Amino acid sequence: MESESKNIIQMLKNIKCIIETSKERGCWKDTELKDIGITYRNVCEIGKQLENPPKIEELPEDLKESEELPESIELKLNN
């Protein structure tokens, strides 16, 4: 799983570089640049999230020792 994440992160970095290079070379029409910008921001954000995944808080003390977990447990993310 960890090696898959590293591969995905590298692929996203490559996509980011391709977008930057192609934009510098003027490969995109003005009408396409909006979609390219959206894609670029999405690639950057996904890459950041994969490199720094949010941490999940530990279970409350009363659930740690319980043999049965409730049907639904909300996970809180530290941001």
Distance CA 73, CA 28 (A): 47
Q: Angle formed by the axes of helices 2-24 and 30-51, to 10°?
A: 150
Residue that wins the pLDDT comparison between 52 and 30: 30
Domain extent, residue 37, equals: 2-78
pLDDT digit string (tens) for 42-71? Answer: 999 999 988 887 676 665 666 556 555 555
* Number of domains present in the structure of the chain: 1
- The percentage of the chain sitting over the pLDDT mark of 90, rounded to a whole number, equals 52
Tell me: pLDDT of 16 over 90: yes
Predicted local confidence at residue 52, as pLDDT:
83
Judge whether 36 and 19 are in contact, CB under 8 Å.
yes
pTM of the model: 0.61
- Averaged pLDDT for residues 26-49: 93
